[in-house]
Structure 1
Amino acid sequence: MDFNMKKLASDAGIFFTRAVQFTEEKFGQAEKTELDAHFENLLARADSTKNWTERILRQTEVLLQPNPSARVEEFLYEKLDRKVPSRVTNGELLAQYMAEAASELGPTTPYGTTLVKVSEAEKRLGAAERDFIHAASVSFLTPLRNFLEGDWKTISKERRLLQNRRLDLDACKARLKKAKAAEAKASCEGDTVPDFQETRPRNYILSASASALWNDEVDKAEQELRVAQTEFDRQAEVTRLLLEGISSTHVNHLRCLHEFVKSQTTYYAQCYRHMLDLQKQLGSAQGAIFPGTFVGTPEPASPPLSSTSPTTAAATMPVVPAVASLAPPGEAALCLEEVAPSTSGTRKARVLYDYEAADSSELALLADELITVYSLPGMDPDWLIGERGNKKGKVPVTYLELLS
């Protein structure tokens, strides 16, 4: 292998000079060129951006993939430029277990039927989670990684080069200072020789030669200083432009953050919608699974027959003539002014969630409030009549916890 020994020796000399300069600065034995306040602020802002970007990136990865082993595996696949294998989400895995359990325990039993319904909902939740993870990775994680692995590496490289240029500049300043001090000393030693001596002593000749030598050294040091100052100024300008580009990075990350919030909002909205549908499905089946618990009838003295339906139970209550026109939704409008509570079968209920009335026939609800509810003949079993003071209207059963 062909080595350029002269270049290697020169590089070694430069490295040694920088090391000496850096060490002397640390011990306060050498002067250091200070950057202006604006430049220092840019450096501090860039460091802060890098540190917080790393933290946000790591914690977002934990949020999207809580399993550390899975994160390491995905990281290795990305570094090897290989496609990350498709991974089953926790919701999809739970849905698979529930479906298999329902198949083995009996899909026609109440427990098996509920397992099937919950399994389908969990499967939809898992698919929504997969979409969210993909959207967040593309719109949020990827730009953060690109900044750390691209722009920040460029900034770090230029900052290291600026540091080397500064060490070279300060070393040149130190050399020039020493050369000027030696030149002044040599001049002083030559001036001490008397002028009346015909033959000047030998030490005067040596001092004059040393003065000329140090004069050459001063010229050389001044030339090196000018070159070092030019290189330092040029590198400082390049680094400053890169540091000022951090503002553009913030704008880009702000846009990515909006995309992340948008995808997360979509994900949670889908989860809420799926679980609300599941709750309604389970609520409509509660009357058949636990008869007499979710309808507006008093608790029976003995266990009712399994064939008793909410509609049949509600039909046994006394009927007020004024509500003879009440019909299921879609068949006739509910005249709330004509609805009177049953003399039996009313009970208290605690509201589980806020509910906004869709029309004037429904009663708006606030979480944790207590209302009076009862059922009427011909009503949809998923709904009850709710009363709060002088207000009344239809309320969904799934939003209530009926109290004994």
Structure 2
Amino acid sequence: MDFNLKKIVKDAGAAVSRVVQLTEEKLGTSGKTELDAHFENLWDRAENTKNFTEKIVKNAEAVLIPNPGNRIEDFIYEKIEKKKPSRLSNLEYLGLDMIEAGSVYGPGTAYGSALIKVGQWEQKLGQNERDFIGSAGMCFTQPMRKFLDTEIKTILKEKSVLETKRLDLDSCKNRVRKARSMLGQPSKDGVTPEFLLEQAERDLRIAQSEFDRQTEITKLLLEGISSAHAQQLRCLHEFVDTQARYYSQCTTIMTELQRELASSAKPGPVLRLNSEDLEPASNDKNASTSPSAFIPISITGDDTNYSVL
């Protein structure tokens, strides 16, 4: 391999200077170049966006896939770029067990028939749930996670570069101040203080130029957060629409199931008096004490005909 020794030495020296500068800042013995208020506001907004987006994505995925083991499994498959495993929902497993139980009890029995019917509709609910999870992932959690993995990572990377440039700039400023304080002193090792000052000022101009350029690059990325918020707003609307459609479909399924069960239910016993059908007495507690709850009956004639008084 072709090693550039000068570059290695220069990079090592720059790294040492940054460490020294950062240490002096912590100790309060060195100044620090501050960014303007507009930049700081942009950075605060970006940090808040990052933190809250991470929380929202995490909680949304927990709602869509409650099983943490399944979430971890899906995450691993995404990282290795393989298709996620197809798994049934809990409702579908419940439906399968109900259908199996109903078949064992006997489809001809009331309970067995009802179990089979409910199991089939639970499977429909489960399939509807899986469709919702897939749709919500595509329109909401996946775009939000992509934003974190691309735009936010780029911003953090450029902000880190900016911090490095800032340390280099402040280190050069300290060198200039030190060189100026040495003016008028005798040369050391054949190097005059004037030459050291000239070299330090040249390095400062270069550091200042690189710092300003990196500040503008980072600021442009931070200003892009507004566009990201607009995109996330659209994702949020799509998520709400998907969620509303899902619950509407669930309501429709359950309403139809109730109707199916009601239509297959057998009617209760009916009291017949004088060729008239009477409903069974009410189960209400007050019915037993109400005079209308008692039906007087008289017995007349030899043929024992009953009539209501």
Could you tell me the TM-score, scaled by structure 1's length?
Answer: 0.66
Matches within 5 A, 1:129-148: 129-148=129-148
More helix by proportion, 1 or 2?
2
- Does residue 13 (structure 1) correspond to residue 13 (structure 2)? The answer is yes
Instruction: Among all aligned residue pairs of Structure 1 and Structure 2, give the percentage whose two residues are the same amino acid.
Output: 48
SS at 2:3 equivalent: coil
Distance in 1 (alpha carbons) for counterparts of 2:98 and 2:191: 95
Residue 213 (str. 1) matches residue 219 (str. 2): no
Task: Pick the aligned partner of 1:270 from 249, 262, 268.
Answer: 249
Aligned residue for 1:127?
Answer: 127
**For residues 109-167 of structure 1, what are the alpha-carbon distances to aligned partners after superposition, in whole Å with 9 as ceiling and x for unaligned?**
11111101111110110111011011011111111111111111111111011001100
User: 1:243 aligns to what?
Assistant: 222
The one of 223, 226, 236 equivalent to 1:257 is 236
Match of 1:283 among 262, 265, 268: 262
- How far residue 276 of structure 1 moved from its aligned partner, in angstroms, is 1.0
The amino acid across from 2:228 in the alignment is T
8 Å contact 2:46–2:225 — kept in the other structure? Answer: yes
1:251 aligned partner, one-letter code:
A
Paired amino acid for 1:73: E
Per-residue CA deviations over 1:212-260 (Å, capped at 9, x if unaligned) read 8111111111111111111111100010000000000000000001111
Q: Deviations over 1:288-319 (max 9, x none)?
A: 4xx25xxxx7xx7xxxxxxxxxxx99x9447x
CA shift at 1:85, angstroms? 1.6
Q: Which residue of 2 aligns with 1:169?
A: 169
Q: Give ranges in structure 2 of 5+ residues lacking alignment.
A: 285-309
Question: Could you say which residue in structure 2 is the equivalent of 1:62?
Answer: 62
Q: In the alignment, what sits opposite 1:39?
A: 39
Which position in structure 2 is the counterpart of 1:111? 111
Counterpart Cα distance in 2 of 1:5 and 1:34: 34
- Counterpart contact for 1:165–1:231, Cα < 8 Å: yes
Whether 1:88 aligns to 2:88 is yes
The amino acid of 1:218's aligned partner reads L
Amino acid of the residue matched to residue 29 of structure 1?
T
Structure 1, gaps ≥5 residues long: 187-206, 301-311, 319-343, 350-404
Cα contact 2:102–2:116 (8 A) shared by 1: yes
1:317–1:345 contact (8 Å) kept in structure 2 = no
Instruction: Say which structure, 1 or 2, has more relative contact order (CA 8 Å, 6+ apart).
Output: 2
Residues 1:348 and 1:44: Cα distance change in structure 2 (over 3 Å): farther
Residues 233 and 348 (structure 1 numbering): CA distance in 2 closer, same or farther, change over 3 Å? Answer: farther
Distance of 2:165 and 2:260 partners within structure 1: 72
Going from structure 1 to structure 2, the CA distance change for 1:249 and 1:15 (only over 3 Å counts) comes to same
Which whole-Å CA distance do the structure 1 matches of 2:188 and 2:129 have between them?
Answer: 84
- Structure 1 residue 286: deviation in Å? 3.5
Work out which of the two has the higher radius of gyration on C-alpha atoms and give 1 or 2: 1
User: Secondary structure at the residue paired with 1:87?
Assistant: coil
How far apart, CA to CA, are the structure 1 residues paired with 2:142 and 2:187? Answer: 69
What is the rounded CA distance, in whole Å, between the counterparts of 1:157 and 1:209 in structure 2? 41
Match of 2:23 in 1: 23
Q: Is the 8 A contact 1:183 1:214 kept in 2?
A: yes
Match of residue 226, structure 1, among 205, 208, 215: 205
Task: Tell me how far 1:266 sits from its aligned partner.
Answer: 0.6
Q: Aligned equivalents of 1:103 and 1:123: distance in 2? A: 16
Q: Is the 8 A contact 1:183 1:211 kept in 2?
A: no
Shift, 1:103, TM fit? 0.9
In 2, the alpha carbon distance for the partners of 1:150 and 1:110 equals 58
SS in 2 for 1:183: coil
CA distance 1:209–1:140, shift in 2 (3 Å): closer
Is the CA contact (8 Å cut-off) linking 2:100 and 2:116 kept in structure 1?
no
Shift in Å, 1:211: 11
Structure 1 Cα separation of the partners of residues 225 and 130 of structure 2: 32
110 and 24 in structure 1: CA distance in 2 versus 1, 3 angstrom threshold: same
Describe the shift of the 1:208–1:110 C-alpha distance in structure 2 as closer, same or farther (beyond 3 A): closer
- Alignment check: 8 A CA contact 2:162 2:218 kept: yes
Distance 1:33 1:107, change over 3 A: same
Q: Deviations over 1:25-54 (max 9, x none)?
A: 111110000011110011110000001111
- Quick one: distance in 2 between partners of 1:133 and 1:265? 13
**1:369-389, Cα deviation, whole Å (9 max, x unpaired):** xxxxxxxxxxxxxxxxxxxxx
Report how far residue 3 of structure 1 moved.
2.7
